[in-house]
Structure 1
């Protein structure tokens, strides 16, 4: 496995020691040909898996036409993209079929756009005195890394050394409706929160929190803004996480999966009374809504429109929750929170750190990433098939047992051998992942999986005890214009 080095890169990341060279579906290969299951999915940017054939085809087709005009001119994919966003997402907001769309590039830009819009709406429509608008945000939030957005954070690593920060934000405990109510006053123009906090470790609020926010903000004529950049577009088993509580926000911030893992695409979608205050000259973006981004975004929204990915996330999520709860019951984890195909798990510090667990998973063929020292987020592509999910969870259990036993006696204990499954012998070559790992079948029961997928998984990545569970092989070639 090749070492990762900074070289000319500024040291803004501390990556795991793996260098990825190829990817397909739920699988990636490093520069040595070792195979891994991707359980991070680019922080949910790869909800549809790596190099989904339909998304690649949409990008390749558009690359031959036009990629950028800037918003100085219209192009033939822009209104189509906006209308598709209204159909798939706008109808889930208070904007309904009259929703407006502001296309941007990154998730941080989408949140910044929403902040600008609600402030201007507060001044122009609500009559809040100029420069006095405030926005209520949550402790533990993560909305991006611009200077404004890290100013909303209470993470000292994200904030430290980057002030002074923009005023106008009031922070309250996440999930505490009474604290939100106490923070609201005549200057409050919006409540901006993630429905489920991703960076904080997949923190799910009480069931009455978002319905309570909706009632409070409607009563006070305050905009309710949902940052669905990580939680949205199928991850929670619904198109938007807000649907879990039957809540329609006024504005939704989207990103990550909207670009299909191919390029940055983001947008703010929702109430025309709010987004309509952004007139020519008040906001813009050179690349926002470019033809290539629109083509890929339309293709991603088309995948969601069938409901298959949402259904698969819900079904696989039930398996994920059951298995993680069992690990908590055994004392291998101190906590686990999950919603759809998204989970945050907490390590016992006695066994090691979150990074220790991620390195143990890496050695056994699964990619994940820690956050906040002892927590690991699990977010595999929504296209994952049952055997792959079960195998990765077996590897998680095995890794936890190994860390526990290493802590207790410096070697493998009896439990470490229990749970091992027969796999390929050293030197066996894995088959390439099946296309179903990219394009999901119509049958998405958590109880059944295509036998060819099961065979590919059993042969491809799983190995024997004491040896690396990373197989070696190459992904099958994807035609750039495949349907």
Structure 2
């Protein structure tokens, strides 16, 4: 069995709408390493797109899952509930950065979490409008695609989309948008399209993921808080990619000066098992009556067991601290690479904790998505899995498991530097 033979089968059996960043196929994985079906080893700087903060197959997670498999795998929480679901909710309620008492409900995917957060916000406020941000990513279902602030490939040819979703620019140093520009755009929105009294919520990633790892100006959150106080508009923090120690704090919103009303979580919550959730202020979460929320597989017992183990690992292995240490190591390596004359041009190194990215630019200082793609291709050839993102695909993002050892991390960074050189040579 070869990667090529499976790729040919994939092309015949699977629609092209689901893209794959690499042309190799996984056979096994441990912590921050993956082996393909031909036995080649790769250092993993993608982490399943920020899903594996505790690494592939962490022993604590595997043990918890095995124990749960021996008990039961499914009852549907709406039919016969189970105590671990409640235990996980209690733990998340205790650490969630919201004012007052919190409650949590579980789902399966990040898109389910963002959609249900909107349902809850609309029910709690009695309003339809949702304001999202250009470059944000909130999922691929119809409503979550509508909230996503990027047309290609997430919206092209897929409309019409649900109404009452609006976008404004995200102010951040790395995106080149100022806070004043964003607030003016918001004023225009309120003047031209919808009054603030009809807005249910703002939804925002504390650090944009797919959009390019842009971290919003703290002044934006202060402005949103004022609007919340004046008009009762809720704040939804989309923590699907930023949650669970990736940014050096349990939640990315903890880097900002305000607390949200609702948080959406998924990805690294369950260490590789499908699980998502909405955490929020109790009075907001209780706005929908019995039966209005749920899902057949929502809060799977197996995934919940994995998530309980993940929270223990984050605490016991001090992964918030580890994220900051990893981030410093990555920043140092990329800073050195950026001073070299034999690599592609590097700019805008950014991101909190171990959520690090930088842009690949052409010689005129413009974003160069084609060169960034050459970097990831050269990295894969040399044994490193790393992804691009950003509006024009120019951003290299690093999402290495927080459990990766220094030797593996340094090996990956050395390969990435070689790939930056190779991408320039191939231009």
TM-score if structure 2 supplies the norm length?
A: 0.88
Residue 100 (str. 1) matches residue 103 (str. 2)? yes
Within the candidate set 227, 234, 243, 1:232 is matched to 243
Match of 1:139 among 99, 109, 134: 134
Whether contact under 8 Å (1:328, 1:336) holds in the other structure is no
CA shift, 1:305, in A, is: 3.4
Q: 1:320 aligns with which of 316, 321, 330?
A: 330
Asked whether 1:337 is paired with 2:354, we answer: no
Selected match of 2:91 from 84, 99, 114: 84
CA distance in structure 2 between the aligned counterparts of 1:14 and 1:306, rounded to whole angstroms: 34
Report the Cα offset of residue 293 of structure 1: 2.1
Does 2:285 match 1:275? Answer: yes
Given that 2:54 and 2:314 are in contact with CA atoms closer than 8 Å, whether structure 1 keeps it comes out as no
Are residue 8 (structure 1) and residue 13 (structure 2) matched?
Answer: yes
The structure 1 segments of at least 4 consecutive aligned residues displaced by more than 4 Å after TM superposition are 349-352
Say which is worse superposed, 9-18 or 221-230, in terms of deviation. 9-18
**For each residue in 1:299-354, what CA deviation from the matched residue of structure 2 results, as whole angstroms up to 9, or x when unmatched?**
11222334701110011111212322333344631332222112222223468532
1:250, distance to aligned residue in structure 2 (A)? 0.9
User: Which of the residues 29, 34, 51 maps onto 1:23?
Assistant: 29
Q: Name whichever of 111-120 and 367-376 sits farther off.
A: 367-376
* CA distance in 2 between partners of 1:250 and 1:180 (Å): 23
Distance 2:69 2:292 in 1: 30
What residue is the counterpart of 2:70 in the other structure? Answer: 64
Contact 2:98–2:281 (Cα < 8 Å) also in 1: yes
| Number of the residue aligned with 1:361 | 379
User: Could you tell me which residue of structure 2 aligns to residue 304 of structure 1?
Assistant: 314
Correspondence 1:187 to 2:198: yes
8 Å CA contact 1:353–1:373 kept in 2: the answer is no
Please say which of residues 23-32 and 214-223 is displaced more in the overlay. Answer: 214-223
Residue in 1 aligned with 2:174? Answer: none
SS in 2 for 1:334: strand
Residue aligning to 2:228? 217
**Offset, 1:2:** 2.1
Aligned position for 2:175: none
Moved more, 384-393 or 112-121: 384-393
Partner of 1:379: 399
Separation in 2 of the partners of 1:180 and 1:25?
A: 44
Shift of 1:179: 4.1
| Corresponding residue number in structure 2 for 1:151 | 146
Q: Which residue of 2 aligns with 1:203?
A: 214
Deviation at 1:221, TM superposition (A): 1.7
Change (3 A) 1:8 1:99: same
1:31 Cα deviation (Å)?
Answer: 0.9
- Equivalent residues of 1:195, 1:210 under 8 A apart: no
Equivalent pairs, count = 394
Q: Which residue of 2 aligns with 1:54?
A: 60
Q: What is the correspondence of 1:415-426 to structure 2 with a 5 Å cutoff? A: none
Work out whether residues 344 and 378 of structure 1, in 8 Å CA contact, stay in contact via their aligned partners in 2. yes
CA RMSD in angstroms, aligned pairs only: 1.9
Shift, 1:209, TM fit: 2.5
Unpaired segments of 5 or more residues in structure 1? 408-483
Distance 2:34 2:299 in 1: 29
Query: Does the 8 Å contact 1:217/1:223 carry over to 2?
Result: yes
In 2, Cα distance between equivalents of 1:294 and 1:27: 25
| Secondary structure of the structure 2 residue equivalent to 1:159 | coil
